[in-house]
Structure 1
Amino acid sequence: MKAIVIGAGEVGYHIAKFLSLTHDVIVVEKDVETARRADELDVQVMEGNGANADILAGILHDTDILVAVTGIDEVNIVACMTAKLIVRSHTGWKETKTIARVSNPDYINVPVTSRAQVGVDIMICPELALASEVADVLSSPSAIDAEVFAGGKVQMMEFAIRSENKIVGKQMQDLKLDDCCIVSAIFRKDEIIIPHGNDVVKAKDHMVVVGKPKAMESLVRLFGDEKPHRTRILLIGCGIVGIYLAKIIDKDEKADLKIIESRKSRCIEVADMLENALILNGDGTDVNLLREENIEDMDVVIAVTDNDEKNLLCSLLAKQMGAKKVIARADRSDYVPLFEMVGIDMAVSPREATVNEVLKLTMGRGIQTLATLEGEKAEIIEYTTSEKSKIIGKPLNKVKFPKDAIVTMVVHNEEVVIPKGDFVIQEGDRVIVFALSSAVSAVEKLFK
């Protein structure tokens, strides 16, 4: 299979890295230094403008997927449109799927959409996807990640276990989880554990729980010891990501939102967009300002400026001054584990949304939803089985399932089930699988 990636920045580099495992990849990048970095990968690199019709015409033949992820929306859209026109002008050429990264709200107002009528099969807004991801975890101070599967019937949440939590020291079998919830994994330092009944919960563990949304609500008390109150949120930075997130929070009747933005003109602009938020013109690293705004009383502080280093500094100050949970944006992929290593509760990156959507399109038609965890060390994937899937028609304990993967949930005839060894998966079932990245390819073979 063949793929073309236009743009070799942070997003393009990681997409090319993933696709090179299963595809022959051509990367097109006009910046010499950026192109040189892409040469580290097992891909062919071309220097040039990825929207240039002559360049595309020379490489498009027999291409399965084209991903345009430069930093310029218009270049990405034009590249996809041009690719479609070139392919259609050549009789017998394989149809090429096109994906464009787009950030301008004039072009897109949802995280992922289709614009097939203009030549873009999938349009992805990483910033809006990041904002939606952060909004999903704001309701619980101990939750650091969240995702929904099977059309909202199944929810995944990742919890950080604090040292004072009452479940520390208990065995997994002693946790009083609802019947429709299951702990899929425990992340402990550099170790990833698929837990058994005698595994003991330790402070600073990250626990991944999958279950029905209603049942997940009860876990908030188990993992966070929370008392219901209005969530106090401080948002630092109101650029593209910040305003997307502010609009989501502003509509939440259970949240009180304060925003710190350094540009006075932007503050005035944002004030006209939001009804309930308090907008402050200032610097998120100003200790006196943070004290005046009682940062120690904040349930969540979110630093989403366009500068990774400033986000880190704002987050560390907020954590040191008593904020309960701190979330920071990190555009550079190598910063995500660093942020969490120094005490940031959750580091989020816009590129992950783009990578996930590309993987869904390329890894197989049976994949409906995919979420990467712990810096892409593990994945939770939703598959829809077909009549050709090797996993159907026999008990799970008779299936040669990879040891580093587990079937956590099955949606059968609209009913959510935690499958046991004798459970038989059938055609059309939605199957939620937790897998280490090393086991994903083996899992895929069972669903193809």
Structure 2
Amino acid sequence: MRIIVVGAGEVGSSIAASLCGTHEVVVVDIDPDRVSDLTYELDVLAIEGDGGDRTTLQEAGIGDADLVIASTDDDETNIVTCGTADTLGDAFTICRVKGTQYLDTWRNADGAFGIDFMVCTVLLTAESVVRLIGLPAAQDVDTFSGGAVRMAQFEVPVDSPVADQTVAEADRWDSLTFAAIVRDEEFVIPSGDTYIRADDEVIVIGSPECVREFAADLSPRSAGPDDIVIVGGSEVGFQTARLLEERGFRPRLIEREGERARQLAEDLPKTTVMESDATDRDFLEREHVGDADVVVTALDNDEKNLLAALLAKRLGAQRTVSLTETGAYVQLFEAVGVDVAVNPRETVAEEITRFTREQRAENVAIIEDDRAEVLELTVDEGSSLADRAIRESVPDLPAGTVIGAITRDGSLVTPRGETVIRPGDHVVLFVNTEDIDAVAAQV
């Protein structure tokens, strides 16, 4: 495919890097320094110019483009870019926005703005945070097969009862598969006698119930969130609280600005909104924030988010999830004591990349900075997996490929060596990114 990416910031550069290995990618940006950097860093055609300008898009080859991705930091620029692209060719358009009002308009008016697919940074970030809250110790969570299958990535705590057990000892559920272990930044495909070590990251695939039970076994002290505190009434903080209310939680939210706090209290009937500075230690102690199961810091500043998270952790909060607008800070936040750091730009870049890859798969989860993926594929009549037991067919797949789950007629089938895969089955597989094309061709 010929793909035009407009905007070469964190989001656009990440998307371009993910796609340029298998597609012809053109990147457009108004900043000459970014254009120059991309020319040397990636195998892309980088063009200086305004993505909303007709002449620039024509120079980028809009007439031959299959896909246009508008990913600048300005919502209106992205909308105009997609609208202009829609008048110049037949390319599928993807628009990134921060404001939920644009997403609402697009969803409720078919074909609004000339945009085929819209992603909202705020809403995606809030959804990611809520998924993480729901599973203790989880670093990443995704669902497949209409919710019948869940993939989760966990860090093994030092004091976890699972640490130093073999996979066979740790696997006490019929519908759970240990897909991979990340150890010293390398993937280990586990067998029954593989030991799970403290600080490993374990990727499991199975039913939501079994994944939840494994999470509880992995970290027994984090049986499940009850008291959830959100620090900051930003749009992400508001959307996180709203989604939690929809799931039956009654979170607490701390907002410093009085008028915003009053508005949030009106809009969030099941949330206790407190007007205060989240770095006021006396207030935090008085409100027992240190007793919280999860503290989410969603302020408008990376440094404030880090400070609030570390203070909550010091007061005794069991788990902290912190936002950072700077992708390079994710590892720093987690290194100094934040349990999980979430970068909204990285979240939306993964979502857009995921969408482009769903042409080959029904659902995709990107693992470890796109070094591996979990794919959901439907088995065809001519598939090398069809009507064969897994122990017979897996050796034909690229090394490191793991069949994590199967759904058949809406029901979950746990894959074991003797399981026979049938045409029409949905299979969820862990695959090294470099092997995706080969696996998709065989399934």
List aligned pairs for 1:13-412, cutoff 5 A.
13-39=13-39, 40-58=41-59, 59-87=61-89, 95-109=90-104, 115-116=110-111, 118-226=113-221, 231-253=226-248, 255-363=249-357, 365-387=359-381, 389=383, 391-392=385-386, 394-396=388-390, 397-398=392-393, 399-412=395-408
Which structure 1 residue ranges, 5 or more long, are not aligned? 88-94
- d(CA) in 2 for partners of 1:245 and 1:110? 21
Equivalent pair of 1:114/1:123 in contact (CA under 8 Å)? no
SS in 2 for 1:420: coil
- d(CA) in 2 for partners of 1:111 and 1:418? 39
- d(CA) in 1 for partners of 2:263 and 2:345? 27
SS in 2 for 1:101: strand
Deviation, structure 1 residue 19 = 1.3
Structure 1 pair 216–277 and aligned structure 2 pair: CA distance change class (3 A): same
Which structure 2 residue ranges, 5 or more long, are not aligned? none
- d(CA) in 2 for partners of 1:287 and 1:305? 17
| 1:432 and 2:428 correspond | yes
1:313-368 C-alpha deviation (Å, 9 max, x unpaired): 22222223221111111232222222223332212222344333333443352312
1:186-237 C-alpha deviation (Å, 9 max, x unpaired): 2334233221111122223322221112333433432232587761111112
Structure 1 pair 249–415 and aligned structure 2 pair: CA distance change class (3 A): closer
Aligned to 1:3: 3
- d(CA) in 2 for partners of 1:435 and 1:221? 26
1:58-104 C-alpha deviation (Å, 9 max, x unpaired): 320211111001112222122112212211xxxxxxx3111001222
The two structures have a TM-score, normalised by structure 2, of 0.90
Structure 1 pair 410–111 and aligned structure 2 pair: CA distance change class (3 A): farther
SS in 1 for 2:99: coil
* Structure 1 letter corresponding to 2:349: V
Identity %, equivalent residues: 32
- d(CA) in 2 for partners of 1:386 and 1:355? 31
Greater helix fraction, Structure 1 or Structure 2? 2
Structure 1 pair 294–386 and aligned structure 2 pair: CA distance change class (3 A): same
* Structure 2 letter corresponding to 1:415: S
Deviation, structure 1 residue 153 = 1.0
- d(CA) in 1 for partners of 2:79 and 2:296? 31
Equivalent pair of 1:233/1:258 in contact (CA under 8 Å)? yes
- Two-structure CA RMSD over aligned residues (Å): 2.7
Structure 1 pair 436–419 and aligned structure 2 pair: CA distance change class (3 A): same
Equivalent pair of 2:292/2:317 in contact (CA under 8 Å)? yes
Structure 1 pair 100–229 and aligned structure 2 pair: CA distance change class (3 A): closer
What number of residue pairs does the alignment pair up?
A: 439
Equivalent pair of 2:179/2:190 in contact (CA under 8 Å)? yes
- d(CA) in 2 for partners of 1:176 and 1:24? 44
Deviation, structure 1 residue 390 = 5.2
- d(CA) in 2 for partners of 1:110 and 1:441? 36
Structure 1 pair 337–373 and aligned structure 2 pair: CA distance change class (3 A): farther
* Structure 2 letter corresponding to 1:282: S
Deviation, structure 1 residue 15 = 0.5
Structure 1 pair 433–57 and aligned structure 2 pair: CA distance change class (3 A): same
SS in 1 for 2:362: strand
Equivalent pair of 1:114/1:122 in contact (CA under 8 Å)? no
Structure 1 pair 393–337 and aligned structure 2 pair: CA distance change class (3 A): farther
1:144-172 C-alpha deviation (Å, 9 max, x unpaired): 33211011111122333223322222211
SS in 2 for 1:231: coil
Q: Name the stretch that deviates more: 33-42 or 399-408.
A: 33-42
* Structure 1 letter corresponding to 2:83: M
SS in 1 for 2:396: coil
Equivalent pair of 2:52/2:84 in contact (CA under 8 Å)? yes
* Structure 2 letter corresponding to 1:419: P
Structure 1 pair 113–372 and aligned structure 2 pair: CA distance change class (3 A): farther
- d(CA) in 1 for partners of 2:330 and 2:197? 23
Q: Name the stretch that deviates more: 295-304 or 424-433.
A: 424-433
SS in 2 for 1:106: helix
SS in 2 for 1:108: helix
- d(CA) in 1 for partners of 2:251 and 2:358? 41
